[in-house]
């Protein structure tokens, strides 16, 4: 497989210095002036301003309450991300210009006037984990902070080697439409696991939001939203298409959209990022979350925003409702923060703007708000001499430890088999100490959880009989149902069967995602398009790095992929080397005692090993600045998600000990007040 040369993403002034050196237009005695390549790039971006004004005059923006609005909420760019957007674009276009003039593959700016920008500031390791993930890397502390680029397991694969969306290996052809791939590979034959609950799906989504947050671009000059299709689903006039648009083509015979005359699914390209290692290379994408498993979806990554949600009293977070039935603070603008058409809708605020995306995701955020405040109140009673900051930080530290423990000791063993778990827990090599989230994990592998989402959300009574069923398609970014029967939704998460991990996605997310009027979006199409946007290498490339034979024809895939899936792939892709990573990974047959096939097992296992070993503050790390005592660690390691459900419902009386598993003889309903579901004894945190 051929890969293309790589180029850099760096801020504009350092780009000028680096490019001038490479173009030979600067010497040590000259004043700084912009080289040709930077002028070329700036000229392109400057020309966008006129286009963006025209789009503004024509009101070509995301409309409040639309399906595009829901998609925007899922990839909402933060202010810090917007600071990088323009500079990254200037760098990318400047280096594309350079590509035609110079051979600079693999060059670094060391020894050039640009080298000063690669120097690192001193990293001070505080007693408590920094809110933005900085200084948390277990080696030098400079990797994994929020608003930094994803890492890569394989070199990026773009159409031009720099930033253009990938094309077919038959260079004259485009790749098949992401929507065509979606409708071809899905057979709409939904089945469920008889031993797993839907908690598996939603915990997966919950930790995905902890470790990954990809932002969509906005207009470079005005910072207003970009819309890539007309509101009715038709294609925009070419003069109204923003350069950062990559809309998904809808086939004329699409079994859903053709009836609605929809020809276009909007997709806005992700915001670019500055390379962490300060080398010359192709376009990278920005992760707005910290790269660590550190509760950033609960606490956020910006201190000023976290402060708005703190009570600054006894370590507590703000809440709505009552002290006995807490809910997240309510948004004052639900029209913007959710998809309501009036200000009366129930919409919540948490550390992550995606909190309202799915009702059961909102439920998990609420449970952990309650857990934080429950622990803070208990610690205040045990250590009444601690001030608010000590109570808050110690509580946050315990909450993050519980999140990590549940993920690695309950959830991952359901996803991966014992062999893969042994690799996750084995001693790390030096390369396995980089905690950064890989682009292939964030953009493809962890997206397997979408296949586990059901069309319905159900509530259950205390004796686990079904009480009510809600259609998921009616509640994207509309968490208004949560307060109707909070305990019923908790029991539902621990009772409802989990759909099987396969190519058959729920209709709600494959045809009605974020729908508010005539049509919604397709999550599979969006995931495919995002992989192409991010320059993810093909499925065949990833197969090769884990030791499977090099792909020469479609039949090669049958060693790990069922023949019926290979037939579908052959039907839609011209070459086996065109297969998108997310589709190839989802097509594989699962490994024994695993939900995942070999490729996604490798990517997820590899990521979770680095996430654990690359984290200076990981809860089991005795070398962190403020390690847990042996007694404290023992208490943390007793806790399960069942205990979180028991302690933080309004009146949860019974729960099975393993909530990712269905109730059975070996996993029966037991009393929450007994010892079968262990309690966290906070008395071991008592300080004199």
All residues at 6 or more sequence positions from 449 whose CB lies less than 8 Å from its CB, including other chains? 201, 204, 205, 208
- Cα–Cα separations (whole angstroms), residue 683 to 300, 317, 403: 28, 22, 20
Q: How far is CA 538 from CA 152, 184, 453, in A?
A: 13, 18, 25
Report the distance separating Cα 518 and Cα 619, nearest Å.
48
Q: Tokens 């052809």 sit at which residue? A: 173
Record the tokens describing residue 295, joined without a space.
Answer: 């509760």
Provide the strand spans (E) within 106-263: 148-149, 192-197, 248-249
d(CA 578, CA 229): 26
Tell me, rounded to whole angstroms, the distance of Cα 13 from its chain centroid. 31
Task: Please state the three-class secondary structure of 384-407 as a single string.
Answer: CCCCHHHHHHHHHHHHHHHHHHHH
CA atoms within 13 A on the CB side of 129: 36
Report residue 265: phi and psi, to 5°.
-110, 120
Reply yes or no on whether 209 is catalytic.
yes
- Give the rounded distance of the alpha carbon of 605 from its chain centre: 16
Residue 219's region, left for phi above 0, alpha for psi from -120 to 50, else beta, is: beta
Of 69, 97, 143, 209, which is the active-site residue? Answer: 209
CA dihedral 662, 668, 669, 673 (to 10 degrees): -130
Structure tokens at 437: 């989230």
Residue in 60, 448, 496, 424 with CA at minimum distance from that of residue 236: 60
| DSSP conformation class of 471 | E
The first and second tokens of residue 86, run together, are: 């323009």
Query: Furthest-apart CA pair in the chain: how many Å?
Result: 81
Distance CA(130)–CA(209), nearest Å, equals 18
Cα(468)–Cα(459) distance, rounded to whole angstroms? 5
Q: At what angle do helices 418-425 and 598-613 cross, to 10 degrees?
A: 30
Question: Rounded to the nearest 10 degrees, what angle do helices 359-382 and 388-406 cross at?
Answer: 130
Distance CA 411, CA 205 (A): 12
Q: Residue 282 burial (CB < 10 Å; 0-12/13-18/19+)?
A: buried
Number of residues that make up the chain? 688
Distance CA 91, CA 415 (A): 40
For the chain, helix (H) and strand (E) counts, in that order, are 23, 13
Copy the structure tokens of residue 41.
Answer: 């790039």
What does the DSSP 8-state code read for residue 409? Answer: I
Contacts of 13 by beta carbon, 8 Å cutoff, 6+ apart? none
> Are 482 and 36 a contacting pair, CB within 8 Å?
no
- How much helix, strand and coil, in percent to the nearest 5, is found in the chain? 40, 10, 50
Would you name the residues annotated as active-site residues?
A: 209
């Amino acid at each position: 497989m051929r890969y293309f040369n790589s180029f850099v993403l760096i801020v504009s002034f350092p780009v000028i210095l680096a490019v001038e050196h490479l173009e030979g237009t600067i010497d040590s005695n000259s004043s700084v002036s912009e080289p040709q390549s930077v002028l070329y790039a700036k000229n392109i971006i400057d020309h966008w301003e006129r286009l963006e004004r025209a789009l503004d005059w024509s009101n070509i923006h995301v409309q409040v309450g639309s399906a595009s609005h829901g998609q925007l909420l899922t990839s909402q760019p933060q202010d810090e991300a917007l600071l990088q957007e323009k500079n990254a674009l200037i760098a990318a276009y400047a280096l594309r210009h350079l590509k035609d003039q110079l051979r600079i593959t693999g060059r670094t700016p060391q020894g050039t006037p640009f080298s000063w920008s690669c120097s690192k500031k001193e990293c001070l390791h505080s007693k408590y984990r920094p809110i933005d993930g900085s200084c948390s890397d277990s080696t030098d502390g400079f990797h994994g902070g929020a608003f930094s680029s994803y890492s890569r397991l394989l070199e990026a694969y773009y159409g031009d080697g720099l930033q253009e969306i990938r094309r077919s290996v038959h260079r004259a052809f485009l790749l098949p439409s992401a929507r065509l791939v979606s409708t071809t590979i899905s057979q709409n034959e939904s089945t469920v696991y008889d031993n797993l609950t839907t908690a598996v799906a939603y915990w997966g989504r919950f930790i995905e939001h902890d470790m990954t947050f990809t932002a969509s671009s906005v207009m470079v000059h005005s910072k207003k939203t970009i819309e890539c299709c007309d509101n009715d689903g038709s294609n925009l006039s070419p003069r109204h298409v923003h350069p950062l648009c990559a809309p998904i083509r809808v086939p004329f015979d699409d079994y859903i959209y053709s009836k609605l005359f929809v020809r276009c699914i909007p997709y806005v390209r992700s915001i670019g990022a500055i390379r962490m290692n300060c080398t010359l290379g192709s376009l990278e994408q920005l992760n707005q979350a910290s790269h660590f498993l550190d509760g950033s979806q609960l606490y956020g990554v910006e201190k000023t925003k976290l402060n708005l949600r703190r009570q600054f009293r006894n370590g507590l977070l703000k809440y709505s409702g009552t002290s006995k039935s807490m809910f997240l603070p309510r948004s004052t603008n639900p029209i913007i923060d959710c998809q309501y058409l009036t200000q009366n809708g129930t919409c919540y605020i948490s550390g992550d703007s995606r909190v309202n995306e799915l009702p059961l995701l909102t439920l998990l955020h609420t449970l952990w708000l309650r857990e934080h405040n429950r622990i803070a109140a208990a610690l205040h009673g045990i250590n009444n001499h601690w001030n608010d900051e000590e109570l808050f930080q110690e509580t946050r530290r315990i909450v993050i430890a519980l999140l990590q423990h549940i993920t690695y000791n309950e959830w991952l063993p359901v996803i991966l088999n014992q062999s893969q778990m042994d690799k996750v827990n084995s001693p790390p090599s030096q390369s396995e100490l980089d905690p950064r989230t890989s682009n292939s994990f964030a953009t493809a592998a962890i997206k397997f959880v979408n296949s586990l989402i059901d069309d319905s959300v159900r509530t259950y009574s205390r004796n686990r009989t079904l009480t009510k069923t809600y259609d998921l398609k009616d509640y994207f970014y509309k968490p208004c149902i949560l307060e109707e029967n909070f305990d019923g939704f908790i029991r539902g998460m621990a009772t409802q069967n989990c759909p099987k991990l396969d190519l058959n996605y729920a209709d709600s997310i494959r045809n009605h995602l974020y729908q508010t009027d005539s049509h919604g979006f397709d999550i599979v199409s969006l995931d495919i398009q995002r992989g192409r946007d991010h320059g993810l290498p093909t499925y065949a490339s990833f197969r090769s790095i884990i030791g499977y034979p090099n792909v020469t024809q479609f039949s090669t895939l049958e060693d790990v992929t069922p023949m019926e899936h290979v037939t579908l792939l052959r039907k839609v892709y011209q070459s086996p080397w065109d297969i998108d990573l997310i589709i190839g990974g989802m097509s594989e047959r699962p490994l024994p005692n695993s939900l995942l096939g070999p490729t996604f097992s490798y990517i997820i296992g590899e990521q979770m090993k680095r996430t654990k070993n690359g984290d200076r503050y990981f809860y089991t790390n005795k070398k962190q600045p403020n390690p847990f005592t042996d007694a404290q660690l023992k208490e943390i390691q007793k806790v399960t998600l069942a205990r979180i459900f028991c302690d933080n419902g309004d009146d949860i009386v019974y729960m099975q000990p393993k909530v990712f598993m269905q109730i059975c003889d070996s996993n029966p309903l037991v009393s929450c007040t007994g010892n079968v579901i262990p309690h966290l004894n906070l008395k071991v945190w008592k300080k004199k």
